[in-house]
Amino acid sequence: MTLDHVTDFAPATGAFADDLRARLPAATFRDIEARYLEEPRGRWAGADGLLLAPETVQEVSVIVTAAAAARVPIIPYGGGTGLVGGQVAGDLATPIILSLERMTKVRRADATENALTVEAGVILQHVQEAAEAVDRLFPLTIAAQGSARIGGILSTNAGGVNVLRYGNARDLCLGLEAVMPDGSILNGLSPLRKNNTGYDLRHLLIGAEGTLGIITAATLKLLPRPAHTGAAMMAVRDPAAALNLLNMARDRIGEGVSAFELIGKTGLEFLAETMPEVRLPLGTPDWSVLIDLGLSVNGDPAAALEDLFAAASEAGLVADGVIAQSEQQRRDFWQVRESIPEGNRRIGSVSSHDISVPTAAIPDFIAEGPGVVAKIGDFRINCFGHVGDGNLHYNVFPMPGRTRDDHDDQRGAVKTAVHDLVHAHGGSVSAEHGVGRLKVGDLERYVDPTKLAAMRAIKAGLDPAGIMNPGAVLRRGT
């Protein structure tokens, strides 16, 4: 099955654009600014585009229906924070850039229902606030939450630090409204917890990165807000001990374990070097973990963490530890973890990788990584991340006195070596960020061919004109 015939796109100019102007409110049309043609890492740049910012799902439908008829490609645009180039196409002549920025209504928040219906343009932080306003929690937390919009978050199935407890974006979505590639409106907003009436289009659209339709609104799952929070940092013997400690924590504390982050020595050394203002409660142990708890009314996080530390000490898993005695101290612990990416930026990585491996494979993967990378050159490795999900940030840095630019010619080899090792351990080369345009080749290299063939058949079936975010996820013409 090929889509060769769909590479002949029409631009969103001339009579096509005039016709849309006649049918949509003037406010839908916005001057294109540079930010719509860029992405955070600067790898792709769009040349041009017709920027449309519809306010209603009906307006989205008008645009997509017209585009499908005229074969005009559409790039859906959320908060613009994606890291894999899903929101920028450089190889299309004047595509429609369809921004959800004006669809920002909170349609319904219901504490009895434990559900929240928001439009796709609502910024994640506002989703969290809307949940809090009805005394509930929307637990998805990512670094870009001040600008990422929920439509983009669902389209890329974003993750973050609380996946261990609450799941990925897809696990927090009960229903979707979307405009399909032919312009028809999918009315799938629903707070139902049990509904076995046909194929699950929600999960197909989530993570499809705008290639199968445009998410315009979502019904999200709300959770009880933990009444008591707590945190501890513990130095562990090695990554295997961190895994055992996590299982021990879940046995003793149940689902109250909200986050469990592994921190390697290199990351702490980078902080000591570049951000000495960040206090390191345990110094720079080889391996440590940050454990975060959120317990209900009758829970006592500090007592639970003391109990865990005692049991883990007796089992020889932990050597040292400190338990937050206040919310301020808990925030200080998190500041360590959250400063690591900034420390990394100040050092300047040669290559960084958004990967995951089966949790049981983490110790072997971490043990084998340095040998694989050393075959290419001398590097430092900073490995940290969400160990309970097997999702590691695996970043490769120059040795002291050298810079990332010194290794420009080795970057590709480092990336391939790390990805090959991930793949050999049954892991994923895109744990959180998605495929976008950056990892189309990785998908072809690492993903099961039967899966790729099925993806192409689904794409051809739902988007026969191939207009939805062409070139993202699947290569054009394949």
What binding mask, one character per residue, do residues 353-372 give for a copy of itself by CB under 8 A, x or -? Answer: ---xxxxx------------
CA angle (167 as vertex; 162, 170 as ends), nearest 5: 130
Stretch 288-307 residues interacting with a copy of itself (CB under 8 A): 295-299, 304, 307
Q: Least distance (Å) from a copy of itself to the CB of residue 75?
A: 19
Q: Least distance (Å) from a copy of itself to the CB of residue 410?
A: 25
Query: Using the rule CB under 8 A, which residue among 32, 185, 322, 424 binds a copy of itself?
Result: 185
Query: Using the rule CB under 8 A, which residue among 14, 283, 461, 477 binds a copy of itself?
Result: 461
Stretch 70-99 residues interacting with a copy of itself (CB under 8 A): none
Residue 447 interacts with a copy of itself (CB under 8 A)?
yes
Quote the tokens at residue 128: 């969290």
Report which of 235, 243, 284 is spatially closest to residue 260, judged by C-alpha positions: 243
Stretch 199-238 residues interacting with a copy of itself (CB under 8 A): 199-201, 203-204, 206-208, 212, 224, 226-227
Stretch 376-435 residues interacting with a copy of itself (CB under 8 A): 386, 388-391, 426-435
CA angle (408 as vertex; 406, 409 as ends), nearest 5: 110
Order of strands across the sheet that contains 257-264: 318-323, 228-236, 287-295, 257-264, 379-386, 391-398, 351-356
Nearer of residues 411 and 433 to a copy of itself, judged by Cβ: 433
- CB distance 415 to 352 below 8 Å: no
Residue 187 interacts with a copy of itself (CB under 8 A)?
yes
d(CA 237, CA 258): 22
- The DSSP bridge partners found for residue 291 are 232, 260
Compute CA distances 386 → 244, 336, 432, whole Å.
14, 14, 11
Q: Least distance (Å) from a copy of itself to the CB of residue 348?
A: 26
Residue 239 interacts with a copy of itself (CB under 8 A)?
no
The SS3 of residue 388 is: helix
For the chain, what percentages of helix, strand and coil (3-state, to nearest 5) are there? 40, 20, 40
Query: Using the rule CB under 8 A, which residue among 23, 41, 279, 451 binds a copy of itself?
Result: 451
- The DSSP bridge partners found for residue 292 are 231, 259
Residue 443 interacts with a copy of itself (CB under 8 A)?
yes
Residue 4 interacts with a copy of itself (CB under 8 A)?
no
Stretch 141-180 residues interacting with a copy of itself (CB under 8 A): 156-157, 159, 163-164, 168, 170-171, 180
